[in-house]
Amino acid sequence: QIFINNEWHDATNGKKFAVYNPATGDKICEVEEGDKRFTQIWLCSHDHEAARFAKDFFCSAFIANPEESHATVPSHVGGIGQQSYMVMSPPAPHAPFLHPAPKPHADLDTESHCGAVCAVMEDIDKAVKAARKAFQLGSPWRTMDASERGRLLNKLADLIERDRLLLATMESMDGGKLFPTAYFMDVGACLRTLRYCAGWADKVQGRTIPMDGNFFTFTRHEPIGVCGQIIPWNFPLVMFVWKIAPALCCGNTVIVKPAEETPLTAIYMGSLIKEAGFPPGVVNIVPGFGPTAGAAISHHMDIDKVAFTGSTQVGKLIKEAAGKSNLKRVTLELGGKSPNIIFADADLDSAVELAHIGLFYHQGQCCIAGSRIFVEEPIYEEFVRRSVERAKKITLGDPLSCGVNQGPQINKEQFHKILDLIESGKKEGAKLECGGGPWGDKGYFIQPTVFSNVTDDMRIAKEEIFGPVQQIMKFKTVDEVITRANNTQYGLAAAVFTRDLDKALTFTTALQAGTVWVNCYSAVSAQCPFGGFKMSGNGREL
């Protein structure tokens, strides 16, 4: 349900929106909206693989018709495998249950995965009022010691660590993320970010300024106020924490709109936020679509800032809405088409592996993906050969299964967009080295794809693909590759692989990107600012 003022609410419009499991298609949940007696998320997934990883999965009897007068919430009876169905028990106030009539696990279809409450303007208004009340002078949040805010962030990190298995499983089930990636990388990043920001809570300081005349001047950093935060589907849990941790550290209140494709971990985080002890109204969570809930946040006259991670197209709409409303502050982290430059003097084994990870990580669904790989001419053919060999080692399948290292794309729209771009690469003359089509007969899987002989004017070299499609291009000189690398509307990230320190330092200055990595890729940390140049956004996260 919608989480406002530390309470769970039905959406004003009484609607739900569908969420899809890109790997199995099984319906996991529906968020109840109108039933006053049962306000839980109904889980209808039949993915028994998930139970292997989550201690919170257990078996229980469940009354199929909750309308019956004797219907009750089942109690925990323990032991996976005792019945033909399972239930999963996160903390109150909502309790998800698996459907009592499962079907075989083997299906990998694309049926509706779950329903979630869909927020509209009235729900956003309700959340804004709660956040504004929590931000008022004299409120428990505003009078709380900064060190106590840090303690609450640390407590939230502890609760996430406690429920790590469950959160990682949710990330895999509704987002198609590999379970080990979700468990180790994503949840780990959340813990580090929360604890880092917790340490900053009582260290945000002002300064004194000498000025002419008999005056004493000082500055003080103050919270902005009510912050609307719109998060993407590719890193739902990480982006949730990236958005709320710095804001709460500094004393703001927040309204979070998770992506409609992946709302489950955000909804669950509401329970953990309440359990951690945050006062009512400090964190509010409103699932919904961009044109409704997202637009309501962007246009709202009583929201002081909007932070958005997503597409450049939507980022422009948000900035326009902010300008047409109350000139609220805007932070945007948008698309990318990042260059990854490999010189002949680089460690080739390392460069091939890191270029592979930099592109194929999370099925290529990463804004910083190194999707334009420029390789110096003397090593070009060998680099292509090794890259193809590496891509062919990828095993596709259910992201909750052992031994799988590529899951599905997020949804049908992205699936067809990627295939269309692959076809454009073939038609425009790029050489298809491997992959190039869908995988399997169910689910949104795409073969790991490598193109060579790619030129700068091809669509695959210009458009953000957001899929497992690697493009490898050839260059001859330093000046040439600098010009070509910067010849894009984006400027989120870049990388250079070389043993030459002079080249490395030259490229850190010459490349128009918010982050430039040298002999590494995707090195992102809470200690470092993150954001882009040009149409990759403005402002910085963390």
Does one domain contain both 343 and 327?
A: no
Give the pLDDT confidence score for residue 11 in this predicted structure. Answer: 81
* Residue 90 to residue 170: CA distance in whole angstroms: 11
* Inside any domain, residue 377: yes
* Inside any domain, residue 375: yes
Average pLDDT over residues 293-310: 97
Average pLDDT over all residues of the chain = 85
In the predicted structure, residue 388 carries a pLDDT above the cut 80:
yes
In the predicted structure, residue 130 carries a pLDDT above the cut 50:
yes
Average pLDDT over residues 355-369: 98
Identified catalytic residue from 32, 33, 261, 333? 333
CATH of the domain at 327: 3.40.605.10
Average pLDDT over residues 31-36: 29
Q: Check residues 31 and 293 and name the one with the higher pLDDT.
A: 293
Average pLDDT over residues 324-333: 98
Does one domain contain both 294 and 398?
A: no
* Inside any domain, residue 289: yes
Assign 26 a pLDDT band (cuts: 50, 70, 90): confident
Does one domain contain both 320 and 443?
A: no
Known active-site residue 333: yes
DSSP E strand boundaries for 225-291: 226-230, 253-257, 283-285
Average pLDDT over residues 90-99: 28
Give the pLDDT confidence score for residue 115 in this predicted structure. Answer: 54
Give the pLDDT confidence score for residue 219 in this predicted structure. Answer: 97
Give the pLDDT confidence score for residue 30 in this predicted structure. Answer: 61
**Residue in 42, 110, 116, 48 with CA at minimum distance from that of residue 84:** 48
Does one domain contain both 348 and 479?
A: yes
Does one domain contain both 164 and 258?
A: yes
pTM: 0.84
Q: Check residues 51 and 417 and name the one with the higher pLDDT.
A: 417
Give the pLDDT confidence score for residue 346 in this predicted structure. Answer: 98
Assign 172 a pLDDT band (cuts: 50, 70, 90): very high
Does one domain contain both 489 and 380?
A: yes
Structural domain boundaries enclosing 181: 121-208+219-333
* Inside any domain, residue 98: no
Does one domain contain both 397 and 252?
A: no
Give the pLDDT confidence score for residue 117 in this predicted structure. Answer: 56
> How many C-beta neighbours within 10 Å does residue 434 have?
17
Give the pLDDT confidence score for residue 107 in this predicted structure. Answer: 28
Domain boundary, last residue among 333, 360, 395: 333
Average pLDDT over residues 192-217: 96
Does one domain contain both 430 and 522?
A: yes
* Inside any domain, residue 17: no
* Residue 217 to residue 207: CA distance in whole angstroms: 9
Does one domain contain both 451 and 369?
A: yes
**pLDDT (tens digit per residue) in 403-434:** 999 999 999 999 999 999 999 999 999 999 99
In the predicted structure, residue 309 carries a pLDDT above the cut 60:
yes
Give the pLDDT confidence score for residue 40 in this predicted structure. Answer: 33
Domain boundary, last residue among 314, 333, 352: 333
In the predicted structure, residue 198 carries a pLDDT above the cut 60:
yes
Does one domain contain both 148 and 246?
A: yes
* Inside any domain, residue 361: yes
**pLDDT (tens digit per residue) in 468-478:** 999 999 999 99
Q: Is 540 left (phi over 0), alpha (psi -120 to 50) or beta?
A: beta
* Inside any domain, residue 147: yes
* Inside any domain, residue 323: yes
Give the pLDDT confidence score for residue 116 in this predicted structure. Answer: 57
Domain boundary, last residue among 333, 354, 376: 333
Domain total for the chain?
2
Does one domain contain both 183 and 200?
A: yes
Assign 72 a pLDDT band (cuts: 50, 70, 90): very low
CATH of the domain at 473: 3.40.309.10
Q: What percentage of the chain reaches a pLDDT higher than 70?
A: 83
Average pLDDT over residues 447-462: 98
Assign 21 a pLDDT band (cuts: 50, 70, 90): confident
In the predicted structure, residue 66 carries a pLDDT above the cut 80:
no
Q: Check residues 10 and 107 and name the one with the higher pLDDT.
A: 10
Give the pLDDT confidence score for residue 77 in this predicted structure. Answer: 28
Specify the residue for token string 């009583």.
Answer: 302
DSSP E strand boundaries for 231-309: 253-257, 283-285, 305-309
**pLDDT (tens digit per residue) in 217-267:** 999 999 999 999 999 999 999 999 999 999 999 999 999 999 999 999 999
DSSP E strand boundaries for 47-111: 57-58, 87-88, 97-98
Does one domain contain both 141 and 266?
A: yes
